[in-house]
Chain A
């Protein structure tokens, strides 16, 4: 059971890092004043958000290896990597949406002000828009961070023994499904509560002076 929790944490955190980077990138694409990038961003979000995560995981786990070659199939821990990768890019599409709405809260005036001081488009994003928007995005991203851990439970369907998978395994061995599932529920509650505590700390650290306190 403890091993399951550790694996859940691992999958959750690594895919969260992937999702954060990819999501910020894609979300930024969607606000760029250059159309092709916006189209790419929109297509990415629409595709990955509208297909159930389970189907995506199956796709990566079952459909891709025969296409790429058999060496993938022989790989140890294939399910684990598929889970991290699949969860990461799925979550990225959701993060991208929050990033986009966060970026849109930055007043246009700041955009023009930045450009008129001679910043390039990239510098503008790096130094003006992103630092500002990231603070607006923290609450919805906290929710998303919690969701990653909940979604990581799906990794059990491709044979990864994380918390839910462990509960299922215990059920298969001992026929105590109710007890092991209840234990897993407790595990998720603990993870969730710790994240909420952590993120409210981060939120208060990063608060822009002068904005409304929550």
Chain B
């Protein structure tokens, strides 16, 4: 069988379009998932029962089901809730925010727990309110400590965005599938997709390793 790598170049605009959808999804998932993750992380450490139990129930529930099901479920239930069809992209963004926030929550919770009690008490004693304490003390310290884990989760999210394929969103993998259905070059096309993801994720993990090395030096 002869290889035909030109198939990728011929469809470069399609692929660029797919990649941009993937990246957009990735950025929105991060932008929504991280703040929600912080809120969930705070809820997980709350001493108020009515905050703690619902948060933990939510986090454990979502973490126990496959992302692909969350994507489907949101896709089916959003139209019922909002009363109109929202299209695959919005559904995908909502599903990713809901899902990834629970993973961010667990990472950030670990970060919050690494902040010593003394620092929090001294923040209160300088007259900060709870929200000021969170905003100026807890988050800056905790987030900086868990940046490597957050970035690793970011890499996972980038890979997860490929799952939006199942609800028909034309992201990177779906693009390859569409091109494949016309050109019938599965080996070249899927290898290409794999290599692009590989490069993106390897660059990501390189950054993570750099950061970890820097952290180790500082300590």
Which residues on A are within 8 Å of B, measured CB to CB?
Answer: 46-47, 49-56, 58-59, 62-64, 66-67, 146, 149-154, 156-157, 164, 167-168, 171, 177-178, 181-182, 184-185, 188-189, 192-193
- Please give the distance in Å from A52's CB to the nearest CB on chain B: 4
Identify A55's interface contact among B61, B166, B193, CB under 8 A: B193
Contact B68 A52 (CB under 8 A): no
B52 within 8 A of A: no
Chain B contacts with A in 151-183, Cβ cutoff 8 A: 155, 159-160, 162-163, 165-166, 173, 176-177, 180
A151 and B64 contact, Cβ closer than 8 Å, known pairs A46-B202, A50-B201, A50-B205 = no
Q: Which residues of B contact A (CB under 8 A)?
A: 1, 61, 64-69, 72-73, 75-77, 80, 155, 159-160, 162-163, 165-166, 173, 176-177, 180, 186-187, 189-191, 193-194, 197-198, 201-202, 205
How far apart sit A164 and B72, CA to CA, in the bound complex (Å)?
A: 9
Residues of B within 8 A of A56 (CB): 194
The answer to whether A52 and B197 touch (CB under 8 A), given A153-B68, A157-B166, A164-B69, is yes
Interface pair A150/B65, CB less than 8 Å apart? yes
CB of A82 to closest CB in B, whole Å: 12
Pairs across A and B, CB under 8 Å, 13 listed: A50-B155, A55-B173, A58-B193, A62-B180, A63-B191, A67-B187, A150-B64, A151-B66, A164-B72, A188-B69, A189-B65, A192-B65, A193-B64
Instruction: State the main secondary structure of chain B at its contact with A.
Output: helix
**10 extra A-B contacts, CB within 8 A, seeds A52-B163, A177-B75:** A50-B159, A52-B173, A54-B165, A55-B193, A168-B72, A171-B76, A177-B72, A178-B80, A181-B76, A185-B73
Interfacial chain B residues near A188, Cβ < 8 Å: 64-66, 69
Question: In the complex, A67 Cα to B76 Cα: how many Å?
Answer: 38
- Given A50-B201, A52-B160, A168-B72, A63-B186 contact (CB < 8 Å): yes
Looking across the interface, which residue of chain B has its beta carbon closest to that of A151? Answer: B66
| Residue contact B197 to A63, C-beta cutoff 8 Å | no
Closest residue on chain B to residue A191 by CB atoms? B64
With A and B bound together, what is the CA distance between A192 and B64 in angstroms?
6
Interchain CA distance A150-B205 in the complex, whole Å: 24
